[in-house]
Chain A
Amino acid sequence: MTRKVDRLFIRKEAVESYERLKKEPSGFLRGKENKELFIMAMIYGFLNKSRLKLDKKEGFVREEYLNDEYRTVIKAIAIKEDGLEVLLNLQKVYSIAEEYAAGGISYLKSDVLSKKGGSYIKRLEELLVGLYDKISLL
């Protein structure tokens, strides 16, 4: 197994977008922590099949701050991409997560700050309910 991962990175160009989401008055993600923003960006990237390589990067989330549920989702995405063997390489697992987050942040920002179609919380709820109703639970 490779060495532990200390932190998760984001693209340097995306720092401003994350800051905007955190500070936007009455914004859905206002006051939320970096880990939550990161995961949201990651799932948006996964949803929109958008994965970007990190060239200039900046540390954003310490791995130790992630909860178990987040780690499980991150690993599940990595397994879907590269098979079970990917778990032998934690660096690779988190690298996939970082690339999806890099690809998803612009979608997330655009959706959260958009005024179209009502409030974001309403739109998110509709999206999740719509997806939920389609999945067959185990």
Chain B
Amino acid sequence: MIIEKLKLSNYRQYLDEEIVFSPMEKGKNITVIQGANGSGKTNILNAITWCLYGKELHLGDKNKGLPILSTTAINKLKSDAACDVTVELTILNAPKNRMILKRRATCRRGISDGVENITTNFDIFYQEGHDLKRAEYPSVLVSHYLPEDINNYFFFDCERLDEYFKSSPKHQPIKKEVFRISQLVLFEAVLSHLKKRNAEYAKQSEQDNPQVEEVLKLIESKEKTLKTAQETLDACRVKEKEAGQLQKEISEKLKRYPSRQEVNELQLRREKLSNLTRELEKEIKRTEEDRRDFLIESAPQIICYEPIKYALNLISGKIDKGEIPPDLKRDFLEKLLESKSCICGTSLSKGSKTRTKVEKLLKECDEITNITEELILERHKLEFVCKQLHSFRNRQIGYSKAVAEKEKKNEEANRELKSISKKLENIDDEKIQRLESKLQTAIREKESAIEKKGMTKHEIRDLEKEIEEFNKLYDKEVERMKKNQELKKILRFCKRAVEAAEEVKDEVMEEIRDEIEEKTCNQFFELIWKKDDFKTIKINENYEISVQDKAGREAIGTLSAGERQVLALSFMAALNIVSGFDAPLVIDTPLGRISREPKLNIAEKLPSYLKGKQLTLLVTEEEYTPEFRKRIQKHVGKEYKIKFEERPIGNKAEVVAYD
């Protein structure tokens, strides 16, 4: 990036000036502007920073408080009239990529001779093909190419730059700025993003806590319970079978009991009755089921009879009145109006009498005419429901009677069974009594086994359902666990990526620091005259510079002003080259305190240190000696002098060709 030209209009002592900078051809990368102290050299630097950032960053005490508008322009202004200050900076970013930065401040002369800034405009026009386009966000563009926070590293006043290297408690480490100018913010962005993602994943991983083990334990527990239940069921079946078997054996014994016919007959009767009660119980259960279904079916119709009757009467009423089916449906009328034509062909256009008639009909037509068929069908359904109810009472009585009859028969059969049992228990034969007692026990045990079997079957069904649910849950948790493991893999990767990025960042920073240190050291020793007084230059990780003497002691405090300036120049040159940051350099008073010999060294070496970079030197006559000029000439593309004129109306500075 180079500065192509700078135009100043009514800017301080510059009324109307255009400075063309060295175009960087044939190895000529330097522009020299020579001027006496106070002639306006530093204001060229101020003009550049004002154009870029809206601030004159190098304003001396002399100019502080003075308006930016040139005194000449002020004095020519009438009271309350306004005038513009303009600084236009043309930058070439690439061979055909031109940017014109223009800042304009409109200043008004007040009644009491004061000058106030009314408005300030800042625009950037950039080249796109053959067109010049206006940038939407000019400040953002400036921040991208020439950020203000590091502008000291390419627009610097050597007199002040020296301050960096004085050991003073006010000195702030410049590591952050070096980081910025070295464009290592990319690392910071990468690290920041990685750390953010890492934190997000870590949080997600914590929250997502799959319960695989817990669910598995639950399943195992339920399966254990299921196994026990199944064993219980088997035991009940065995018990039922055994009791049933014993019952059968004893029954046979009683049926064939020798020489006791009444016992045989009683047992036969008992068996018949047992079969009967079994059948009756089945029938009672079936009838109860049917009765249950019947009641569930009837309940809505009976409980909601009132609304059923109401709906039926309402619809029937409409049918009886002839409202349903209607002569005309609302739908039909709406379609006619939409089509603006009747089915007979009569026009129903807006405003017509016929249309008005149809609209009137529509107004009188109920929306329910659209569901005429449904209403008629609904009436039939309601009538059907009401009809069904007529048989409710008979059916209800029928079910009750059927159940009651069967229950009565069952009761009678059971009573008789009890009576048979009592007879056999009290019979005059001990053996028969024992057999009967055993039989009753077997019956009770069988019944108990059947009851328990029934309950256990329910329990098993419920457990199987629960296990099925838990298995589904287990599958879900396993999926979650897999996702979580994936997440953990990603987390590990993120962690490694962060470590690697930090390592690379540190390495790159270290390399940059090493290189800057080496170049600064080499350049410093090439430029200074008392080479033997110093041993080396060190730059620590905070970019604090240390100059060591031969004995290895810190000697930065012992440097002369000129030596500090040389050190400053060496460091800035090293930083600009190593960082690769593409910006033109403008140095004000680079040689102010430097004596002859190092000055000549600078003339020889500085262009090569800053090869490829556009360099503008704002120098005094004392700095730009003929000797210096001769040495640096081959690298100078443009050379100017500031012609300063003190006038009553206002000072004037002109930038003219050196010769």
- Residues in chain A within 8 A of chain B (CB atoms): 1, 23, 25, 28, 32, 36, 39-40, 42-43, 46-47, 68-73, 75-77, 79-80, 84-85, 87-88, 121, 124-125, 128-129, 131-132, 135, 137-138
**Cβ proximity bits B439-461 to A, threshold 8 Å, 1 near / 0 not:** 00000000000000001001000
User: How far does the Cβ of A55 sit from chain B's closest Cβ, in whole Å?
Assistant: 26
Does the CB pair A46–B304 fall under 8 Å? yes
**Cβ proximity bits B285-297 to A, threshold 8 Å, 1 near / 0 not:** 0001001100111
**Cβ proximity bits B384-405 to A, threshold 8 Å, 1 near / 0 not:** 1110111011001000100000
Distance in angstroms between the alpha carbons of A125 and B297 in the assembled complex: 12
Does the CB pair A25–B295 fall under 8 Å? no
Q: Which residue of B lies closest to A81 (CB)?
A: B307
A-B contact pairs, 11 of them (CB 8 A): A25-B455, A40-B300, A69-B385, A72-B308, A76-B312, A84-B318, A85-B367, A87-B378, A121-B291, A131-B303, A132-B392
Distance in angstroms between the alpha carbons of A13 and B295 in the assembled complex: 27
8 Å CB interface, B42-85 against A: none
Chain A neighbourhood of B241, CB < 8 A:
none
**Cβ proximity bits B208-250 to A, threshold 8 Å, 1 near / 0 not:** 0000000000000000000000000000000000000000000
Q: Which residue of A lies closest to B454 (CB)?
A: A25
Distance in angstroms between the alpha carbons of A90 and B11 in the assembled complex: 80
Partner of A39 from the list B288, B300, B307, B374 (CB cut-off 8 Å) is: B300
Distance in angstroms between the alpha carbons of A55 and B508 in the assembled complex: 61
Chain B neighbourhood of A39, CB < 8 A:
300
Does the CB pair B371–A87 fall under 8 Å? yes
Distance in angstroms between the alpha carbons of A79 and B288 in the assembled complex: 35
Partner of B368 from the list A46, A85, A137 (CB cut-off 8 Å) is: A85
Q: Which residue of A lies closest to B309 (CB)?
A: A138
Chain A neighbourhood of B392, CB < 8 A:
128, 132
Does the CB pair A76–B368 fall under 8 Å? no
Does the CB pair A84–B291 fall under 8 Å? no
User: How far does the Cβ of B332 sit from chain A's closest Cβ, in whole Å?
Assistant: 15
User: How far does the Cβ of B248 sit from chain A's closest Cβ, in whole Å?
Assistant: 30
Does the CB pair A73–B393 fall under 8 Å? no
Chain A neighbourhood of B288, CB < 8 A:
121
Chain A interface SS verdict (over half): helix
Does the CB pair A68–B381 fall under 8 Å? yes
Is B314 interfacial (CB-CB < 8 Å)? yes
Chain B neighbourhood of A70, CB < 8 A:
300
User: How far does the Cβ of B47 sit from chain A's closest Cβ, in whole Å?
Assistant: 70
Does the CB pair B386–A137 fall under 8 Å? yes
User: How far does the Cβ of A86 sit from chain B's closest Cβ, in whole Å?
Assistant: 10
Distance in angstroms between the alpha carbons of A72 and B296 in the assembled complex: 15
Does the CB pair B304–A32 fall under 8 Å? no
* B-side interface residues, number (CB < 8 Å): 47
Chain A neighbourhood of B301, CB < 8 A:
69, 73
Does the CB pair B378–A75 fall under 8 Å? yes
User: How far does the Cβ of A120 sit from chain B's closest Cβ, in whole Å?
Assistant: 10
A87-B374 contact in complex given A124-B295, A125-B295, C-beta closer than 8 Å: yes
Give me 12 other A-B pairs in contact (C-beta within 8 A), A79-B311, A128-B392 excluded: A28-B292, A43-B299, A68-B381, A69-B301, A69-B388, A73-B304, A84-B368, A87-B368, A124-B299, A125-B295, A131-B302, A138-B309
Does the CB pair B314–A79 fall under 8 Å? yes
Distance in angstroms between the alpha carbons of A136 and B392 in the assembled complex: 13
8 Å CB interface, B383-429 against A: 383-386, 388-390, 392-393, 396, 400
Is B315 interfacial (CB-CB < 8 Å)? yes
Does the CB pair B307–A80 fall under 8 Å? yes
Q: Which residue of A lies closest to B392 (CB)?
A: A132
Partner of A128 from the list B292, B309, B367, B396 (CB cut-off 8 Å) is: B396
Partner of A137 from the list B306, B370, B389 (CB cut-off 8 Å) is: B389
Chain A neighbourhood of B292, CB < 8 A:
28, 121
User: How far does the Cβ of B474 sit from chain A's closest Cβ, in whole Å?
Assistant: 22
Chain B neighbourhood of A135, CB < 8 A:
302, 305-306, 309
Does the CB pair A76–B367 fall under 8 Å? no
A25-B385 contact in complex given A76-B310, A84-B368, A131-B303, C-beta closer than 8 Å: no
Q: Which residue of B lies closest to A25 (CB)?
A: B458
Q: Which residue of A lies closest to B378 (CB)?
A: A75
Partner of A43 from the list B304, B393, B400 (CB cut-off 8 Å) is: B304
A128-B295 contact in complex given A72-B382, A76-B311, A79-B311, C-beta closer than 8 Å: yes
Is B375 interfacial (CB-CB < 8 Å)? yes
Does the CB pair B381–A1 fall under 8 Å? no
Does the CB pair B291–A76 fall under 8 Å? no
Is B484 interfacial (CB-CB < 8 Å)? no
Chain B neighbourhood of A138, CB < 8 A:
309, 312, 383, 386
Is B633 interfacial (CB-CB < 8 Å)? no
User: How far does the Cβ of B391 sit from chain A's closest Cβ, in whole Å?
Assistant: 11
Distance in angstroms between the alpha carbons of A114 and B370 in the assembled complex: 48
Does the CB pair A129–B295 fall under 8 Å? no
Chain A neighbourhood of B511, CB < 8 A:
none
Is B298 interfacial (CB-CB < 8 Å)? yes
Is B430 interfacial (CB-CB < 8 Å)? no
Partner of B300 from the list A69, A87, A129 (CB cut-off 8 Å) is: A69
Distance in angstroms between the alpha carbons of A72 and B252 in the assembled complex: 60
Chain A neighbourhood of B297, CB < 8 A:
69
Partner of B298 from the list A36, A68, A128 (CB cut-off 8 Å) is: A128
Is B462 interfacial (CB-CB < 8 Å)? yes
Does the CB pair A73–B370 fall under 8 Å? no
Does the CB pair B305–A131 fall under 8 Å? yes
Does the CB pair A47–B311 fall under 8 Å? no
Q: List 4 A-B pairs, minimum CB-CB distance, nearest first.
A: A80-B307, A79-B311, A76-B307, A76-B311
